[in-house]
Amino acid sequence: MKTKFRILAVGTALATALVTFNLNTYAANAEESIAAAEQTGTAQVSAAIEKISQPWGLAAAVDGGIIVVGAGSNQISKWQTGGLTAVTNQTASGYFDGTTVNSTFNHPSYAALNSKGVIYVSDTDNHVVRRIVKDRVYTAAGNGQPGYENGKFGEVQFNAPSGIAIDEKDHVFVADSLNNVIRVISPEGVTTTFAGVAGETGGYKDGDVTEAKFNEPMGLAFDEKGGLYVADSGNHLIRYIRDGKVTTIAGKATTVDALTGYMQGGYATGASKDAQFNRPRGLAYAEGILYIADSLNNRIRAVKEGVVITIAGQSKPGNVLGSADTAQFNQPSALLYTAGKLYIADTLNDSVKQLEVSSKSLKPIINLQELMEGTALLPAGKDPQVWLDGKQVKFNASQQPFKKGDKTYLPVRAVFAAWGAEIKWNAAAKEAVLSKQEWKLALKVNAKRTVLLERGTLYVEADYLADAGSFLLAHENGFNAIIIGSGQ
């Protein structure tokens, strides 16, 4: 039987398995390139709410405040104008409906508000969904016993419900994590299965909502079209449900480990289909961008126009504020976007942080560490493998990279065409002019380490791209790889 993790025991139940690379050599001006990148308006991570015991869910209140679910304290709180007040008072775990003063929860996780301001909370270890109306707490669905059953109110059974999202008609969607399905509670209190095939082991399958499979789904978020994004945590993927179909919109499916029952998590940026996550949990959607709390990668990621980037954090867990590329989190679990700010539940740091974001100027982290860790290199082969902005550059047999002494030369047209640059050749001047948007680079034959071979192909020494083109570039000798970052 598949081994399940206890969702809220994030500190001990799961171990991060990140791929790391040994940086052997890199371009001489790499440090200067990093410094330049850090001086171009890098986004800042700052403190918002301190001393919250394992914050998970974040939700926007109707009056502009933020509802915070403290999983470690079993409390629901509200943060507004810099102050934190209790919505529910009891800290001892339990399951009791009543006033907000005497009601109890058991490791609640996520929350959302409907159009009337009613707060819905996934009371995870009680296996129910609760609702808070003014000064009273009620059970919206579930009977306190783990299981799987649709129906009304107390007839219903969940198994570790987590992510919650509410649509414009006040239907409450719930990630029923250990049943591996998405449920929906109608305004009349009737619970049905919205998507997925219920079972203990979960799985992975796209297609019709009645046949699709998930593996411990968690965070949920709607877009402006009414489509529902799902952080398919156990599969390390981002799924999307619309018009009765489930598709994978980000992440690369891998082989399921026979011992754990999970796919292999990892870390890679770039095209959505090639990107990798490690236990993605919280989601937020705004202005065409999906933000992701990539929990065991300790990073905040974003999906924009089919590309996955990292906008804050590092692989190593920590508790550091400041520049987005040096900031550190410890298993972030939930996100909330409001008024140009992304609030981050930094769960194992017992705090909520904030990051200013803009859909028009959203930038990925650019430094050597991110370049190396964000590229899913292949095993070393006879010929050098070349990666540009997270995507492997393919070469035909007649235009392969080659080494000459300690230098590696790359075929110009193959590399820059893959990047989408325009290439103009001036035969009289024996010069190639490369351009993409505002970036431009001229390469002249036999000048500054460029060379034209007899077979008519222009090559450039790899390290010269960093010197002349302001690229980040690293050599990974163990993988026989060259990794290039354009910063665009």
CB 407 within 8 A of CB 461: yes
Phi-psi region of 471 (alpha: psi -120 to 50; beta: other; left: phi over 0): beta
Which residues on neighbouring strands pair with residue 434, listed in sequence order?
423, 441
Beta strand pairing call for 391-392 and 341-346: unpaired
Bridge partner residues of 346 (DSSP): 332, 351
Cα 105 from chain centroid (whole Å): 28
Torsion of CA 94, 150, 109, 322, to 10 degrees: 180
Handedness of CA 168, 169, 170, 171 (dihedral sign): negative
Query: Distance (Å, rounded) from C-alpha 353 to C-alpha 459?
Result: 47
CA atoms within 13 A of residue 481's CA, in its CB half-sphere: 23
SS3 127: coil
Q: Where are the beta strands (DSSP E) in 295-401?
A: 299-304, 307-313, 322-323, 332-338, 341-346, 351-356, 385-388, 391-392
Q: Specify the length of the chain in residues.
A: 488
Q: Which residues, 6 or more positions from 436, have their beta carbon under 8 angstroms from its beta carbon?
A: 416, 419, 420, 421, 422, 488
Tell me, letter by letter, the H, E, C secondary structure of 392-421: ECCCCCCCCCEEECCEEEEEHHHHHHHHCC
User: What would the pLDDT profile of 285-329 be if each residue is shown by its tens digit?
Assistant: 999 999 999 999 999 999 999 999 999 999 999 999 999 999 999
Burial 258-273 (b: 16+ CB within 10 A, else e): eeebbbbbbbbbbebe
pLDDT band at 30 (very low <50, low <70, confident <90, very high): very low
Residue 159 in contact with residue 193, Cβ under 8 Å? no
List, for residues 365-422, the tens digit of each pLDDT value: 888 888 888 888 999 988 889 999 888 999 998 888 988 888 889 999 999 998 899 9
User: What is the pairing mode between strands 119-123 and 108-113?
Assistant: antiparallel
Q: With contact defined as beta carbons under 8 Å apart, do 452 and 444 qualify?
A: no
What is the tens place of the pLDDT at every residue in 417-436?
Answer: 988 999 999 988 888 999 99
Instruction: Output the six-digit token pair for 345.
Output: 């539940």
Q: Answer with the residue of higher pLDDT: 447 or 463.
A: 463
Token pair of 77 as six digits? 């709180």
Is residue 45 within 8 Å of 312, Cβ to Cβ? yes
Residue 222, judged by CB atoms within 10 A of its CB (0-12, 13-18, 19+), counts as: middle
Span 49-101, pLDDT tens digits: 999 999 999 999 999 999 999 999 999 999 998 899 999 999 999 999 999 99
pTM of the model: 0.87
Residue 137: is its pLDDT beyond 60? yes
Range 124-138 average pLDDT: 98
